[in-house]
Structure 1
Amino acid sequence: MSDSKRTNVRWAVAVVLSLSYMVMFLGRTVFSVSGPSIMKEYGWTSTQFGYASTAFFIGYMISMIPSGAIADKYGATKVLIISLLLSGIFTFFTPIIGISIGLMILVRVFEGIAQGCIVPGAMSNLGRWIPKKESGIACGLVQAGCPLGSAITIYLAAALLPIIGWKKLFFVYALFFPIWCIIWALIGKSDPSEHKKVNKAELAYIHQKEKVQAVVMNTDITKSDVLRTPAVWFMCLSYACATYMYFFCTTWLPNYFIIGRGMKISAGAVPYIVGFFTYFIGGFVADAASNKFGDKIGRKLVQVVGMIGAAVLIFLGASATNPTIVIAAVSLSYGFLCLTMSGYFSVAPSICPTLAGVYAGLAGVLGSIAGILAPTITGIVVDAGLKAGANNATAYGYALWICAGICALGSILALVAKLDPIKHRAVEEDKIVKD
């Protein structure tokens, strides 16, 4: 292979990582679209279904930071393969084990632990493969797998649920996990230097970021340096606000359209289709804004604007009565929300590129807390609304109003974050002494 023309293996790796997100959300959303059938078969209330949905995120939170640190130190391949294989196993056993609310909570916790390793592993891997100037686009490409997985789940569920039932639907979806592992074994590597098809020109292009960033930041920053930085916490808390609504959509949006609005299950796929495209747009916008305004402003601009748009539109979707307006407003709101996601994860390559997995792990933990709260609060709010005499649309609408308020808060948190490159504590203390 000639080294004069740069190869583009990094984008093939990014596509496979995007497929890991797609498969991850196939496993998540199948529980959501099966919600009405599960609640009917076992006689669960909305609150009980919310508890079962929440259980996933408890497990998800447990494995986030450790898996990111492990992937940063030892490479992402083993982390990703083990986590996806275990996710497939727990997806398969969900309808077998989860015959009571207690057992369903247990199996969902274990699946959450397995899936909690996927995002830090993928982001750590992406940090080794993608130059900073392409990080927004790459993050958008990878994360676009999330709504794609949700949309595929809903369309397949609409076709298969009446034929095979909800239990066998889990068996079908469990097959996607080992298939991804085979694809990764053929295409992916933990580091570009390990890949036989990456030539010297591409390797040099990827490693340009290290030469440039070494001028403005220390390469020996530690985990504690990252965790004590206020901007990291502001951005990760802002991300948690985004994930509150995001996981509301993952766990409850199909029920909102089916039960709350009396629509067909396929209507619930529209927001995910919109989100799939806005993930890509968000990546381009994040990189373009960074180039024009610098990382301090550009890396958070899309989050500030996107979260405000999501808040306004989800409020309109909850308040509207016309079905077309409801679908359009909720779908556009989800689109604005997805617009922000690549921006959130492109922050790490700008301020702590050598510890992107740690940043992703912290963001994932705080996002998981939001994921724990969103399904539970939604179930409680819906049941409380129904008991107070509200109809289904109004009761579910209250939950959407909460999403709107939390998204507005997330926009404010991103606005106040100061995105300076993180420096090692010893260097900063030495500078203070000299001054």
Structure 2
Amino acid sequence: MESTNAPAGHAGTVTVAPAGRPAWTTTWLLLGFMLVNFADKAVLGLAGPEIMKEFGLGRQEFGTAQAAFFSLFSLSAVGVSFLTRKVRTSVLLLAMGLLWSVAQLPMLWAAAGFGTLVATRVLLGLAEGPAAPVAVHHVHGWFEQRERTLPTAILMVGAAAGVAVAAPTLGAVISHFGWRWAFGAAGLAGLLWAAVWAVKGKEGPLAPPVGRRAHIAGGEPGYAEVPLRSVFLSGTFITAALGAFGAYWVMSAKLTWLPDYLQTVVGWDLQQASAAVGGGAVANGVVLLAHGLLARRAALRGTGGKLPAGAGAGLLLVASAGAVTVFATVDALWIKVPMMFGPMALALVMITVAQTAIARITPPSQRGVVLGVLVAVFALGGIVSPLVLGWIVDSAASATIGYRNGWLVTAVLLLGTGFLAALFMRPEKDARRLGVPESQAAGVPVSH
């Protein structure tokens, strides 16, 4: 596929990468990357009851361990995203995969205590903070703007798939080999992915140049940059970040506290709770994939845009708020349990929509940086959520009351951020105002 809208100063055509086998192979590899990423996140929640019992921890103390994961998460998301202007994303992704394993494997040591757990979670968060923005930036180097929603959604499906695979698998590992081997299994999975990526991972033909090539290209009209301050102060960026914050809050709350909630309040055993968490994660993936397929179909048919992206994603946050409210207040399991399998997952669509919307209002050479800042902002939900819910539960008269109050706080957050996104998240309008044409994401010069 070729386009004739070459950047000024270049003779000839602009080659556009078809969404063929190399593009989709990269997408599936990065799906595996995100799968391991979220299995790493889920392992602490799944092993939580056993860890609290062995170390004699309260829920608020355990929440501190989960929050430790996010202590450097946002900082590294921004810092490494700036490196995307200097270092190839394929190299950054390989380094992250290796560091994840380095962070997980020490917990196999029998003498590793709570201090080691906190330290390794800090290291893991440092290595995983840039995962989503760098992976999305990398995959966008293989697809045109109009085709990016589906591969972005597939990467986010990795979050659901990681939990879906991790919940029953690591639950069985914990039951048969102890909670320490759950960390060991996650570390070995990271090493396996890194070995495959070292052989198969490479840059896409639409990837912006880095290093010296980036400096040369940066002065050409086809690669014109915009002031980052204008991007960060746009209605699209602010409300996308807030909406994704709400979505990440509920995702982190479920990863950290849902296994304990199902065992403590509902009365299920570890196997039942793990199966339910895994089933809910499968439903999360179905929601994300269905949204990606529908968005891609609408874009390719030219029927998208009838409902602004922010309005649609914002309304899904509002719907998710309703589902969380029902989950928190209704005791009947035939009503409560189905809320986990789809309705509560609607919030996660905002994480996909936020990233594609931000990519639309940002020139390719600045995309990695802006995506990194976006993730840094919404990942704060991962720091605050475990601590706040842990404090609410421990402060209540009973775990049942505490969890109900915690889920209702989550519902209010989703409701507020959903309305803001529906009203003010307008990527096409802000892209026109910032002077970022869609054609900038459609190709790269044949030569430099």
- Which band: TM-score by shorter chain? 0.7 to 0.9
Change (3 A) 1:95 1:248: farther
Match runs of 1:295-314 below 5 Å: 297-314=307-324
- Give 2:339's aligned residue: 329
Pick the aligned partner of 1:393 from 370, 392, 400.
400
Mapped pair 1:119 → 2:128: no
- Which of the two has greater helix per residue? 1
- How far did residue 79 of structure 1 move? 1.0
Offset at 1:284? 2.7
Offset of residue 372 of structure 1: 0.5
Counterparts of 1:57 and 1:97 in 2: how far apart (Å)? Answer: 25
Detail structure 1 runs of 4+ shifted over 6 Å in the superposition.
423-427
Residue 183, structure 1, aligned to residue 192, structure 2:
no
Counterpart code for 1:245 = V
Q: Give the Cα–Cα distance (whole angstroms) in 2 for the partners of residues 332 and 425 of structure 1.
A: 36
Q: Give the drift of 1:337.
A: 1.9
Cα distance change on mapping 1:425 and 1:136 into 2, 3 Å: closer
Specify every segment of 5 or more residues in structure 1 that has no aligned partner in the other structure, as ranges. 195-213, 428-435
Determine which of 328, 333, 337 is the counterpart of 1:318. Answer: 328
CA distance in 1, matches of 2:199, 2:158: 19
CA contact (8 A) 1:315 1:401 kept: yes
- Note the 1:134-283 alignment, pairs <5 A: 134-192=147-205, 219-263=224-268, 264-265=272-273, 266-283=275-292
In the aligned structure 1, how far is the partner of 2:111 from the partner of 2:121? 9
Q: Deviations over 1:64-108 (max 9, x none)?
A: 012122124432111111111111110111354994444432221
Tell me, what secondary structure is at the counterpart of 2:255?
helix
Change (3 A) 1:147 1:378: same
The one-letter amino acid of 2:330's match is A
Query: In the alignment, which of 343, 359, 366 is matched to residue 377 of structure 2?
Result: 366
**Identical pairs, percent:** 20
Superposition RMSD in Å: 2.7
8 Å contact kept, 1:132–1:350: yes
Amino acid at match of 2:33: S
CA distance in 2, matches of 1:426, 1:286: 24
Q: Which amino acid aligns with 1:227?
A: F
AA in 2 matched with 1:397: R
In structure 2, distance between residues paired with 1:302 and 1:100: 46
Deviation for aligned residue 1:422: 4.2
Contact 1:225–1:423 at 8 Å: present in 2 too? no
Change (3 A) 1:191 1:97: farther
Q: Deviations over 1:119-158 (max 9, x none)?
A: 1210110221111111111111111011111111111123
Q: Which moved more, 1:34-43 or 1:57-66?
A: 57-66
Q: Does the 8 Å CA contact 1:282/1:338 hold for their aligned counterparts?
A: no
Letter in 2 for 1:24: N
Aligned mate of 1:378, from 348, 368, 389: 389
2:408 equivalent to 1:418: no
Q: How far apart in 2 are the matches of 1:424 and 1:328?
A: 43
Q: Partner letter of residue 386 of structure 2?
A: P
TM-score where L is the length of structure 1:
0.85
Task: Note closer, same or farther for the CA distance 1:222–1:19 as it changes in structure 2 (3 Å cut).
Answer: farther
Question: Which amino acid counterpart does residue 269 of structure 1 have in structure 2?
Answer: G
The separation in 1 between residues aligned to 2:197 and 2:226, in whole angstroms, is 30
**Which residue is 1:201 aligned to?**
none
Would the aligned equivalents of 2:142 and 2:206 in 1 still touch at CA under 8 Å? no
Partner AA of 2:120 in structure 1 = V
CA distance in 1 between counterparts of 2:99 and 2:111 reads: 17
Pick the aligned partner of 2:143 from 130, 138, 143. 130
- Return the alpha-carbon distance in structure 2 between the equivalents of residues 301 and 135 of structure 1: 19
Letter in 2 for 1:338: L
- Matched to 2:358, the amino acid is A
- How many residues are matched? 400
Aligned with 2:45 (options 32, 44, 65): 32
SS in 1 for 2:190: helix
Of residues 105-114 and 412-421 in structure 1, the stretch that sits farther from structure 2 once superposed is 412-421
What TM-score, normalized to structure 2? 0.83
- Residues 18 and 302 (structure 1), Cα distance of their counterparts in 2 relative to 1, 3 Å cut: farther
Question: Contact 2:173–2:181 (CA<8 Å) still a contact in 1?
Answer: no
Q: Quote the Cα distance in structure 1 between the aligned partners of 2:309 and 2:353.
A: 6
Separation in structure 2 between the aligned mates of residue 357 and residue 98 of structure 1, nearest angstrom: 40
| Of 94, 110, 117, the match for 1:104 | 117
Structure 1 residue 406, shift from structure 2 partner? 0.8
Question: Partners of 2:110 and 2:70 in 1: how far apart?
Answer: 18
